[in-house]
Amino acid sequence: MRSKGVLLSLALGAMTLAGCLAPPSQASRVTDAARELNLATRFGRMDIALSHTANGARDAFLDRRGQWGKHLRIVDVELAGLAMKDEHQATVQVDVAWVRVNDENLRTTRVAQVWRDDEGWQLIREQRLAGDLGLFGEPIPVTASEARDVQFPSRTIR
């Protein structure tokens, strides 16, 4: 009776250990690559970001981020969704929170990034899906803000 308990414990332990040693899924790998690329760009580490970008997409990737750190400040990036087209292609949605350096309004833009697995996940293209314009250098009409009166209204008594 005791040997059955020991055998059962060993079998259960072996199955648990086998589950821990399983390689990460393709979805997990693309999520890790997307997170690393987007965090690297947030903090200005373009060398790391470019290592996750396909050769043909690197110039466009850098052009779209030309204003980052100069006229735009990236406040936060968050992976918002993942859709696996097949085992070697996926679309990752990323929410980017940002501000212009001359404006205190927080803006958000949702970006769709298309990734391909060529012996490692690489970003092949991206586009703005929704949210505020200006993250990728799109022209934004600048509206002149009215001067706010910070005083109480005054009256002249005569």
User: Tell me: the pLDDT tens digits for 6-54?
Assistant: 677 777 776 776 666 667 788 889 999 999 999 999 999 999 999 999 9
pLDDT at 150 over 70: no
* C-alpha to C-alpha distance for 103 and 72, rounded to whole angstroms: 10
- pLDDT digit string, tens, across residues 71-113: 899 999 999 999 989 989 999 999 999 999 888 899 999 999 9
- The residue length of the chain stands at 158
**What class has domain 25-131?**
alpha beta
The pLDDT score that the predictor gives to residue 149 is 63
Tokens at 23, concatenated: 């390689």
* C-alpha to C-alpha distance for 33 and 66, rounded to whole angstroms: 22
* C-alpha to C-alpha distance for 71 and 12, rounded to whole angstroms: 57
Query: Which of 98, 91, 89 lies closest to 117, judged by CA?
Result: 89
- pLDDT digit string, tens, across residues 108-147: 999 999 999 988 899 999 999 999 999 998 887 666 666 6
CB neighbour class for 127 (10 Å; exposed up to 12, middle 13-18, buried from 19):
exposed
The pLDDT score that the predictor gives to residue 67 is 87
The pLDDT score that the predictor gives to residue 51 is 92
Residue identified by tokens 């250990």 is: 17
* C-alpha to C-alpha distance for 82 and 103, rounded to whole angstroms: 32
> For the chain, which residues make up each domain, given as ranges?
25-131
Strands laid side by side in the 72-86 sheet: 72-86, 89-100, 107-117, 121-131
